[in-house]
Amino acid sequence: MDHQLEEQAENIVKKVRHYLITQMGRDPKKAFPWEIFQAISLTLRERVMVNWAATIRTMNESKERRLYYLSMEYLPGRMLVNNISNLRVHPLLKKVLEKLGYDYNQILSLESDPGLGNGGLGRLASCFLDSLATQNLPALAYGLRYQYGIFEQQIWEGVQIEKPDCWLLNENPWEMRNDNYAKIVKFAGLTRKKLNMHQETVLDLHDFEEVRALPFDFPIIGYSESELFNVLSLRLWSTKESPHNFHLQRYNAGQIGPAAENTALTDVLYPNDNHETGKRIRLKQEFLLVSASLQDILERHIENFGDFHNLADKVRIQINDTHPALVIPEMIRLLTHRFSLSWQKAFEMTQEVVGFTNHTILSEALERWNKERLACLLPRQYWVIEKINQKLCEHVRKKYPQDEEKVQRMSIIENGQIRMANLAIYGSHKINGVARLHGEILKTRIFKDFYEMYPEKFTHITNGITQRHWLWHCNAYLSEFINARIGKKWLTDFSQIENLRDFASDEPSQIEFLEIKRKNKERLINFLKEHNQQRNLMGQHIATSFDKIDLDSLFSMQVKRIHEYKRQLMNALQLIMLYFELLENPDAIAVKRTAVIAGKAAAGYFTAKYVIQLFHCLARKINNDPAIQDKLKIIFVENYCVTRAEKIIPAADLSEQISTAGMEASGTGNMKLTINGALTIGTEDGANIEMREAIKEPWWPFSFGSSADELAHLQRQDSYNPWDIYSQDSKIKRALDALKDGTFAQTESEEEAFGALFDTLMMGYGGQKADRYFVLYDLKSYYETERKVEKLYQNKSAWAETAIHNIAQMGRFSSDGSIHEYANKIWGIDPLPVDLKILREVQQVYEESTLR
């Protein structure tokens, strides 16, 4: 075995040297680390390319139904490490780098983390791609190749500063530019009516603006125990590298900005999570994705089948939230106009093809486009939307003749706005929520009218995560622990993890589990020492000591985007209350606590930014207060991203999932933390509920807070007044007062920030109700439940036992399971493993072409 590894490593070293010379003109003895990264990637890529070509041919020749996944966001994490992991060549590559004389971790950390998404929605898309590829499902994914991903977050004396994220500074060995498949997308222009062969009106367009979308393909490698693995394509469109997108006439007229608008169209990802702003460029981005991808999809279909008679049988398109919902009018338009299908046929086909996943019930996140804006930028698509809407309204009127209000509620166009969710529901055959509670809320609250009319369209599929990335890849110690006990089947069949239950009460296993946790905490703290030094007002690093962090303290983690409904502020208040209690009596709490918080705030979201500032000031005061004898430490980790999550999550003892019940559609961080051996303190929200049911009493001891129904009731009654709590609960009052009395604020800006936080809780702002996310309402039970946490943590063995039970019951939260459900319930697609004969053929051609 060792000998074999040695030999393989030697061969790869040769290849790497070959690339260093032929691609970089570099003497291998003098290569820069970045060149080594490139050469390693190119070498590994060869292996991937063979299977990639063979998978594509397998799909084309099979003529099976295919899924096309459309998403404005992806968060794949670093590609080289992920690919090494799915190709199972980790030990081999370590050996290779050792031979070449470079440090494995250093080389791998050179790659930047492609931040092509905001948070859960984008990461879910990447977990889904991993599962699609691993389960050999015939699929292809589309997105945008943003030049700048989600901003890099820096914290300057507590204030979030957004720096551009230039992930494409260096050549990316994992993307394949594909000029042959570039597409032209048309915006604006004037329309002219004409008749198609069914004597139905369609619109021609002239004087339009043309934008060229150029695809870059990324391989998505399926995990497999053998050389038989599928490779899917993630095709990302860019407008950057097409010189004709530059508008010279405008430039000559002195309009420098507008001249570059189309060249710059895919430059930046809109950095909003659960919030849409209705900006024009965003609309153009969305249509770019839709139009280019749809042309691609239809061309593929024609190439395979010659015409569209079987389109509804062979194609499934899943839209990740409403962002790509323009696919509905655009598909109808193309089919009726360019391909001369009848309107009715085109509409029915589109409905059958498209599926829509909703990811939020927050009204500020539901997309609405200004009617004039859309009509001006996309006149033909607007015209189709009007027609779809007429059809919908007629339908509703027919079924509910007396109910004009219902028609208004369901109408796609209302009050000068186009409601994309209504369009997406009407235009697709299935709409799904992302957890059971979320699915219920869609049916009974936000899309009630649609549910009444089309009950069969509504379903839910609970989110999942890939255990390969979020356990195997990010937590080597724990993975070995699991493998040693139950083997490795869990990697592709996560239900196997159940067998771990047998070890929950086994003392040596408990001890080993706790040791692993400790090692992961140590790894995190070492990482933070190097990468999370604080910055002063000017952004310069100031020496930050982590020496007082006790690895045996309880590490609680709340890591996710900063949003009011996620209630990081409740966590902060709980920490303030704890601090005051410790000031009175440092022995009041038996275990030390290290509270880790991380997450980005949208650039214009002031309340969220104030919350970050508050954590900074809490840390400044509390971490340095000798009176509490190092019992409590607070760390805000800058720039939360996939790579940092991989370091933070394995180190967690406690997972904070404390959103207002009914607001977090699913959550996926909750799942990642649990499979890494953290216990959850959480509300009855999103997937927490299903996790509680799977893990069962007594292994889920820290559930707290009001239910979604209770809060909905309070809202309807309009009977909640946070001042009641303020005046009745002295501990809570004291914590709130501390926001105003200068306990934590040192500067005017800090005073203002915390004053504003106080006001959102007690007065409301911008026309919103005071404490609309019920922070104070749940705070008492939250605080008390945190004390229960500490009590259990004192009993290490009971803690470990509970944690192992938690991991063991997480089998159903793998994205493999979610994807399996999508494939059966929504898409109707079957696995299509790469054809061995085709693979052999491609391999042979490859071997023959490799010059010795």
Report the candidate in 567, 118, 148, 127 with the shortest Cα–Cα distance to residue 365.
118
Quote the crossing angle between the two packed helices 343-353 and 379-399, to the nearest 10°: 90
Residue (42 or 124) nearer to ligand NBG, CB: 124
Q: Which of 66, 560, 616, 631 is catalytic?
A: 560
CA distance 667 to 223: 25
Residue (252 or 363) nearer to ligand NBG, CB: 363
Other residues' Cβ atoms within 10 Å of the Cβ of residue 208: 16
Shortest Cβ 722–ligand NBG spacing (Å): 25
Q: Which of 17, 561, 567, 600 is catalytic?
A: 561
Residues 243-269 as b or e (16 or more Cβ within 10 Å = b):
eebebeeeeeeeeeeebbbbbbbbbbb
Residue (667 or 811) nearer to ligand NBG, CB: 667
Instruction: Mark whether 535 is an active-site residue.
Output: no
Alpha helix (H) residue ranges in 114-247:
120-134
Q: Which of 240, 368, 600, 672 is catalytic?
A: 672
Helices vs strands, H then E, count in the chain:
34, 24
In the structure encoding, which two tokens stand for residue 820, read together? Answer: 């399996």
Shortest Cβ 120–ligand NBG spacing (Å): 3
Residue (76 or 667) nearer to ligand NBG, CB: 667
Compute the 3-state secondary structure of the chain and give helix, strand, coil in percent, each to the nearest 5.
55, 15, 35
Report the candidate in 119, 272, 269 with the shortest Cα–Cα distance to residue 608.
272
Residue (789 or 826) nearer to ligand NBG, CB: 826
Instruction: Mark whether 391 is an active-site residue.
Output: no
Alpha helix (H) residue ranges in 411-475:
420-426, 436-441, 448-453, 467
CA distance 319 to 76: 18
Please list, in sequence order, all residues whose beta carbon lies within 8 angstroms of the beta carbon of residue 623, skipping any fewer than 6 positions away.
548, 633, 634
Instruction: Mark whether 406 is an active-site residue.
Output: no
Is residue 673 helix, strand or coil? Answer: helix
Contact 151, 104 (CB under 8 A): no
Residue (438 or 521) nearer to ligand NBG, CB: 438
In the structure encoding, which two tokens stand for residue 622, read together? Answer: 């509390």
On the 0-12 / 13-18 / 19+ scale of CB atoms within 10 A, 241 is middle
Shortest Cβ 276–ligand NBG spacing (Å): 9
Instruction: Mark whether 90 is an active-site residue.
Output: no
- Phi and psi at residue 657, in whole multiples of 5°? -125, 80
Residue (159 or 819) nearer to ligand NBG, CB: 819
Shortest Cβ 563–ligand NBG spacing (Å): 8
Shortest Cβ 650–ligand NBG spacing (Å): 20
In the structure encoding, which two tokens stand for residue 804, read together? Answer: 């192992």
Shortest Cβ 531–ligand NBG spacing (Å): 26
Instruction: Mark whether 359 is an active-site residue.
Output: yes
CA distance 382 to 188: 11
CA distance 353 to 842: 32
Residue (274 or 623) nearer to ligand NBG, CB: 274
Shortest Cβ 770–ligand NBG spacing (Å): 24
Instruction: Mark whether 672 is an active-site residue.
Output: yes
Alpha helix (H) residue ranges in 338-475:
343-353, 371-377, 379-399, 404-410, 420-426, 436-441, 448-453, 467
Shortest Cβ 735–ligand NBG spacing (Å): 27
In the structure encoding, which two tokens stand for residue 300, read together? Answer: 């593929």
Residue 462 is given by DSSP the state: -
Q: Which of 284, 359, 387, 567 is catalytic?
A: 359
Strands 159-163 and 354-357, how do they pair? unpaired
**Residue of closest CB approach to ligand NBG:** 120
Report the largest interatomic distance among the alpha carbons of the chain, rounded to a whole angstrom: 84
Residue (665 or 832) nearer to ligand NBG, CB: 665
Report the candidate in 760, 779, 567, 598 with the shortest Cα–Cα distance to residue 663.
567
In the structure encoding, which two tokens stand for residue 74, read together? Answer: 């992806």
CA distance 651 to 614: 24
Residues 50-88 as b or e (16 or more Cβ within 10 Å = b):
bbbbbbbbbbeeeeebbbbbbbbbbbbbbbbbbbbbbbe
In the structure encoding, which two tokens stand for residue 618, read together? Answer: 């809490």
Shortest Cβ 269–ligand NBG spacing (Å): 13
Gyration radius (Cα) of the chain, Å:
28
Residue (129 or 628) nearer to ligand NBG, CB: 129
* 159, 161, 528 from 544: Cα distances, Å: 17, 19, 10
Shortest Cβ 450–ligand NBG spacing (Å): 19
In the structure encoding, which two tokens stand for residue 579, read together? Answer: 């601090």
Shortest Cβ 355–ligand NBG spacing (Å): 14
E-state strands within 461-572:
534-535, 541-542, 554-559
Contact 324, 297 (CB under 8 A): no
Residue (213 or 694) nearer to ligand NBG, CB: 694
Residue (341 or 442) nearer to ligand NBG, CB: 442
Residues at the interface with ligand NBG (CB under 6 A): 119-121, 124, 273-274, 321, 359-360, 365, 434, 463, 664-668, 686
Shortest Cβ 439–ligand NBG spacing (Å): 12
Residue (138 or 464) nearer to ligand NBG, CB: 464
| Residues labelled as active-site residues | 359, 560-561, 566, 668, 672
